[in-house]
């Protein structure tokens, strides 16, 4: 649960959202090349880590030389990185872009990170010692379910809003409840509310068959480009990888091959399967947001984004359709 800060969101900015492998980055680059005054702001929880390059689909060095990119390679992979840290870094980047008289186009698929920026979420603090104890409990057989039962006693409102199998959310809710001495749900109405925002939200609709094929092709290309060597180099780092970095899709599965000897073919298949599942979770997240203007088959995507980037300061326009295309 999170409260909201007044005057949320960077006025005049545009955010392009969608699932992994939906073509967001290519479209964003097309817009930036077309205009010449756009800087791209990554909204991806794993692109903040240095060394996690291929399977996070980071922009190429050539693209980064052509168009300024922000919020990429912020920390080493042995460090944890929080939503609050991202929110602060995003605010600084957006202020600097505005100060240069240029336009910001946010691009990415990490829903909570996006909401932290466009809605100015006020995030609860962190209690690492409490979180570590909870993670240890979650590692035990039946741990997540037991933690959810514990949360139901401390904060029944929060417990009712999350699936008992969603380990990350349950642990975070307990961390806040125990660390702050306040129920997690007391920090605000949560992410179920969608207040007005000055950020114009545009989405690429989810086409399951197209995205599924793109995920498989892309992972094969990453493997051919040296993803396994990248994972080996990360695993060999003296400082290791943080808990969060180890969960990055593609890296998590290939680390099982590198560190545990699981057959490579099985790890690759698992990575593709998990990424497809992740895309569906992203779609479920974004499709709930009524503020997103979903691109339709008759749209010129570059023209749509171009017009929104040129709009005068003020509230973001209301989407022309309340439901996602293809819903």
Q: What is the CATH number of domain 3-119+195-309?
A: 3.40.50.300
- Tell me what pLDDT residue 5 has: 39
- Tell me what pLDDT residue 189 has: 60
Q: What is the CATH number of domain 128-191?
A: 1.10.20.140
Lowest mean pLDDT among 7-11, 95-99, 199-203, 292-296: 7-11
Question: In the chain, pLDDT over 70 holds for what percent of residues?
Answer: 92
> Average pLDDT, stretch 27-44?
97
- Residue 157: pLDDT band by 50, 70, 90 thresholds? very high
- Tell me what pLDDT residue 187 has: 78
Backbone angles phi, psi at 325, to 5 degrees: -60, 135
- Tell me what pLDDT residue 327 has: 43
- Residue 11: pLDDT band by 50, 70, 90 thresholds? low
- Between the CA atoms of 96, 99, 101 and 104, what dihedral angle is there, to the nearest 10 degrees? 30
Query: CB neighbours (10 Å) of residue 101?
Result: 7
What burial class does residue 192 get, using C-beta atoms within 10 Å of its C-beta: 0-12 exposed, 13-18 middle, 19+ buried?
A: exposed
Locate all alpha helices (DSSP H) within the chain, ordered by sequence: 24-35, 61-66, 83-99, 111-118, 128-138, 143-154, 156-160, 167-180, 208-225, 227-235, 243-246, 251-260, 264-286, 301-309
Residue 315 has pLDDT above 70, yes or no: no
- Tell me what pLDDT residue 254 has: 98
Question: Which residue from 63, 54, 42 is spatially nearest to 234, judged by alpha carbons?
Answer: 54
Instruction: Map tokens 């207040």 to a residue.
Output: 195
- Tell me what pLDDT residue 177 has: 95
Note the pTM of the prediction, 2 decimals.
0.84
- Tell me what pLDDT residue 92 has: 96
CB 201 within 8 A of CB 291: yes
- Between the CA atoms of 51, 54, 59 and 62, what dihedral angle is there, to the nearest 10 degrees? 90
Residue 316 has pLDDT above 90, yes or no: no
Residue 282 has pLDDT above 50, yes or no: yes
What gap in Å lies between CA 271 and CA 254, rounded to an integer? 8
Report the helix count and the strand count for the chain, using DSSP H and E: 14, 8
pLDDT tens, residue by residue, 177-188 = 999 999 998 876
Domain boundaries, the chain: 3-119+195-309, 128-191
Region for residue 281 given its phi and psi (left: phi exceeds 0; alpha: psi -120 to 50; beta: otherwise) = alpha
């Amino acid at each position: 649960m999170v409260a909201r800060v007044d005057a949320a969101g960077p006025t005049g900015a545009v955010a392009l959202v969608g699932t992994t492998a939906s073509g967001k980055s290519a479209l964003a680059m097309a817009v930036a090349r077309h205009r010449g005054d756009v800087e791209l702001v990554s909204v991806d929880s794993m692109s903040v880590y240095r060394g996690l390059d291929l399977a996070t689909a980071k922009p190429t060095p050539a693209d980064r030389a052509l168009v300024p990119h922000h919020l990429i390679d912020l920390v080493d992979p042995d460090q944890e990185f929080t939503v609050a840290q991202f929110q602060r870094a995003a605010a600084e980047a957006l202020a600097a872009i505005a100060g240069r008289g240029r336009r910001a186009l946010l691009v990415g698929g990490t829903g909570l990170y996006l909401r932290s920026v466009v809605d100015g979420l006020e995030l609860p603090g962190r209690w690492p010692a409490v979180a570590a104890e909870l993670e240890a409990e979650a590692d035990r057989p039946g741990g997540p379910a037991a933690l959810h039962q514990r949360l139901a006693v401390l904060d029944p409102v929060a417990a009712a809003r999350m699936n008992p199998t969603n380990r990350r959310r349950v642990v975070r809710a307990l961390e806040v409840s125990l660390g702050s001495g306040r129920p997690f749900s007391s920090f605000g109405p949560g992410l179920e509310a969608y207040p007005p925002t000055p950020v114009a939200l545009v989405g690429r609709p989810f086409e399951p068959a197209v995205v599924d094929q793109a995920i498989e092709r892309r992972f094969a290309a990453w493997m051919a480009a040296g993803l396994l060597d990248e994972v080996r180099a990360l695993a060999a780092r003296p400082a290791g990888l943080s808990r969060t970095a180890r969960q990055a899709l593609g890296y998590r599965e290939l680390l099982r091959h590198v560190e545990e000897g699981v057959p490579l073919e099985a790890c690759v298949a698992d990575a593709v399967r998990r990424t497809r599942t992740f895309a569906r979770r992203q779609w479920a997240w974004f499709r709930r947001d009524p503020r997103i203007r979903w691109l339709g088959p008759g749209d010129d995507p570059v023209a749509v984004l171009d017009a929104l980037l040129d709009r005068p300061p003020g509230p973001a326009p209301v989407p022309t359709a309340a439901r996602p295309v293809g819903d």
